[in-house]
Each structure stands twice: as C-alpha cells, then as structure tokens.
Amino acid sequence: MLDFLSSFSGCITRIEAAISQVIEYDEKKWKEYVPLPLEFVCSPDKQRFDVDESKIEANLDFLIDQLETHEKILPPWGKSYYKGDLKPAYNEWIGVWTLKALWYLDNYGRIKK
C-alpha cells in the first residue's frame, strides 16, 4: 500500500510540474486560446495541482466579465475561421464555451440561484 501511495504522490508531482509549464497565468492573454487555470481545477472539490488559488478566482472573474460584456463566451480563435458550410459551427462553439463557463461558475458557487 505504501508503494502505491508513494507512486501516486510521484504522479501528482509530475502532473503539477507539467501543468506549471503550460498554464497561462497572464490575465492579458486569457482572451487568446491558452490553457486557463479553470481548465485544470474545474471545481473547488477537485485536485488543485498546485494551481494558484488567486488565479482561479481571477479566472472566474474574467468569465463573469466576458458574460456581462458579451452575454456569451466567444471562441478565442475568432469567427474568420468559419466560412461556407462551417458558419453554423461558430455558433455551436459559442454554446460550448458559454456552457463550460457557466459550469465552472456554478461549480464555484458564483451563480445566484
């Protein structure tokens, strides 16, 4: 059992190191297609992976700001990618990104019910 726990702890350490290499903490870049803090800690009852708590809160605030500004979450890669038969997919991605944002906000108790 101790070997398993030691091995599990080692895995968590490696995952934390990998996340720290890719996670984007620079809030100015969050409108781009980058790995956001909430994508690694989608709920407060999940493993933290050493993700900065203040950045999780800031990421939640960012989503609220986007929803208050646009009433939806726009895909960070933009609309110009969707031409011809792909045009309807842009609105589908808006739905996916908006639902994901609402799910994060609900998980963290940021939606008034």
Per the structure block, which two tokens stand in for 52?
Answer: 């900065």
pLDDT along the chain (113 residues), means of 10: 63 94 98 97 95 97 97 93 91 97 98 89
Supply the pLDDT for residue 9: 78
What's the pTM value of the predicted model, to 2 decimals? 0.88
Contact 94, 73 (CB under 8 A): yes
Sign of CA dihedral 84, 88, 91, 92: negative
d(C-alpha 31, C-alpha 69), whole Å: 13
Contact 108, 42 (CB under 8 A): no
Per the structure block, which two tokens stand in for 63?
Answer: 């989503």
